[in-house]
Amino acid sequence: MSESNGSQLPEWGPGKTARGRARLPSSRRRERPQFSCNLCRQRKLRCDRQQPCASCVQRGLSLSCSYAAQSAARPVGADQPVRTVQDRIQQLENLVVDLMQGTLTSHAAQPGQALPTSHLPSPLLTTNQSGTDRVPETDNSTSPGSEAGSLQLTSSGTNYVNSSHWAAVLNGIAELKDHFDSEGNSPASTDFHDISIPEQTGPQLLYGCSKFPTRQEIIESVPPRQAVDRLVSRYFSSFEMSTAVLHSAQFLEEYENFWKDQSATPVIWLGLLFTIMCLAAQFQISRLDPNSQTPATPSTEHDLENMVETFKEKIVQCLILGEYAKGGPHVLETLLLYIAVELFSRNDAEIGVWILLGTAVQLAMYMGYHRDPKHFREMSPFVGEMRKRVWATIVELDIGISAQMGLPRLIKQWQTDTVEPANLQDSDFNKTTKEMPAARPENDLTPMLYRLVKGRMMSTIGFIWDFAANTRSYTYADVMDMDTKLRGTYVSIPECLKWRSMAQCILDSPQIIMQKVYLEIMYQRARIVLHRRYLNCSPTKTPYGYSQQACLDAALKLLEYQHMLQEETRPFCQLYQERWRVTSLVNHDFLLATSVLCAYLQQVRGETATAGAEGGTSADTIRASLQRSYGIWLNSSSSSKEAQKAVSALSVILGSQDSMDTNTNSETDMSFDQLPTSPGTSVSFYPQSE
């Protein structure tokens, strides 16, 4: 080609474009207008430019549909406020309230109305000069409307959890759903393919027995007395719930009568004996020396596991043969201990346990346990006191298991007037007692004191859980009143049960240490449930700064306890033989803390770039806590599907945060090179999706 034709290749070089023109400086460069929403632009999809667009609606990401802010050089549409994450969440809450009040029509008339823009600083930075929590003055402003929770519909069933459940929090993070969709999977479709966790059926009592032995055959299956004696001793020395369900002296009297005349023993009592032996065998597994076998115990852990399964089968056979649905002596005690057996047998939540608890609640009410013994003059003081203990245990299990399942509790406060039991040793009263003695002072650490303190904490938590499950809105003043009650309950914990630190507990028994830690875990979990819905609210609406601070502080504190328990329950450490106490109920609280911090970290991810050094430190604090928790969940993923779900969520959130920190202008990268690799990345966050 000749130069006269002007078709020679353009000159390339610094400051030149592809056509050889001088490149404009960035301050004068005209950027290509962005008409698509951010999500469609990332995926290179066609966008109809609506709010929300049809593509985001179809993918279930309506609230995450947003458009790039218009610059000052482009005044077109500049009067339209930017829809922040907080605004979209607030709009969802308002829509839920409107649906309940039947006023959705007014919103439909204004589909394009946007909420005011607000910036939510990190609550970790909003501390006062004194370093103490500042409780805001409350008003009668309306709290955010009740969140609807999450519902999963699959071919295997339907599963609902309320908005305060960890699974609902994770399912509400658009980034997680976006990631799993981009991988070609739905969050409910796959799991950790390289790790096989044996499927566990529900409690056998719900499905019946394959064989029904006679009463005599059940008696003959009881081990020799020497073996039973060891198991009974292990139960009463290890399980603080024993005093809340059984009076030790009364049981030992019945126990001796059994060995004297086995034919006269009720079959339900045999079921009670099998639950005691089953629990003791479960405890014994955790007490095996990691290097050598403990004397006078079965030779291997496998033998103990087989023993547990055999005892579980006998428990069910005794309950069915004894027609437990009719109630009667020893029925509730056997059912409650059987529920404990099922809880200790599982690393994850199981809906069957909650259904089993419902049966126990119905039987207890059928037998009048929900009414105080003072109404029944013919009832002896001994029987009345033991009924109080049993009812307090049922209420405690109701709140704990219902929270684990993300469902409303079964017992409402207005349905019962049974008062709490007294702080007494079993030796203080018996079945011949005519008048109950005065309760011991609360500086006397009896086996019942922990049950009493835990029961009071559970009573307050029950009201908070009712708040979380309430479909109606309430004022922020109501929330702060409940916060005051919760802190009052926490402050009233006796000194002998207050947690300080591991260094200050070196003289305490492992059992007492675990009790102290559990009271702390319960308190921090309650703070999250009470204040979580305000974590994403704009502080310009009402003074939510205190709630945001409380929620984050509680979540970080819970992950500290998770790390401490992980360290101290290792072989040869102080709590090794008590590791059986770290049940799925406790892990649920750690899952809640993990999910809340994941949601918050994803929410403020764009703020750290503009919030200054302090904002970056705040994000680093949360990220460091989550990374440490990630390692703990990864270690548990071989035996817990819920741990696998936590690993999947953390890998996405932490991976995308690391990518954003590397290059804030690049699109989100879901890899996480800094974290250990894990098999599988797609998962359902519901308690039961298998």
Q: How many CA atoms are closer than 13 Å to the CA of 687, on its beta-carbon side?
A: 29
Nearest to 335 by CA among 412, 384, 274: 274
Mean pLDDT by 10 residues, the chain (690 residues): 45 50 53 72 80 75 62 38 48 50 41 36 37 46 57 68 68 60 44 56 81 89 94 89 90 95 92 95 76 52 86 94 92 95 86 93 95 93 96 94 89 92 94 93 92 94 87 85 95 93 87 93 94 72 77 93 90 84 86 90 60 48 90 86 87 67 40 38 42
Q: Got the DSSP string for 123-172?
A: GGG---TTSS--PPPP--PBPPPPP--EEEEETTEEEEE-TTSHHHHHHT
Give the pLDDT score at 61.
65
Give the pLDDT score at 1.
47
Give the pLDDT score at 668.
34
pLDDT tens-digit series, residues 324-377: 999 999 999 999 999 999 998 888 888 899 999 999 999 999 999 999 999 999
Q: Are 646 and 626 in contact (CB under 8 A)?
A: no
Residues 6+ away with beta carbon under 8 Å from 365 = 415
Q: What is the CB neighbour count within 10 angstroms for residue 422?
A: 18
Give the pLDDT score at 471.
78
CA distance 682 to 122: 30
CA distance 69 to 83: 9
Tokens, residue 118? 């607000």
Q: Are 317 and 218 in contact (CB under 8 A)?
A: yes
Give the pLDDT score at 40.
81
Give the pLDDT score at 57.
72
Q: How many CA atoms are closer than 13 Å to the CA of 625, on its beta-carbon side?
A: 27
Sign of CA dihedral 501, 505, 506, 512: negative
Nearest to 690 by CA among 650, 640, 635, 625: 640
Q: Are 361 and 336 in contact (CB under 8 A)?
A: no
Q: How many CA atoms are closer than 13 Å to the CA of 359, on its beta-carbon side?
A: 22
Residues 6+ away with beta carbon under 8 Å from 29 = none
Whether omega for the bond prior to residue 52 falls within 30 degrees of 0, making it cis, is yes
End-to-end CA distance of the chain: 69
pLDDT tens-digit series, residues 171-208: 666 555 565 555 544 333 334 445 556 666 778 888 87
Rounded to two decimals, the pTM is: 0.72
Nearest to 126 by CA among 618, 627, 620: 618
Q: Quickly tell me which residue has 């790039």 as its tokens.
A: 68
3-state SS class at 399: helix
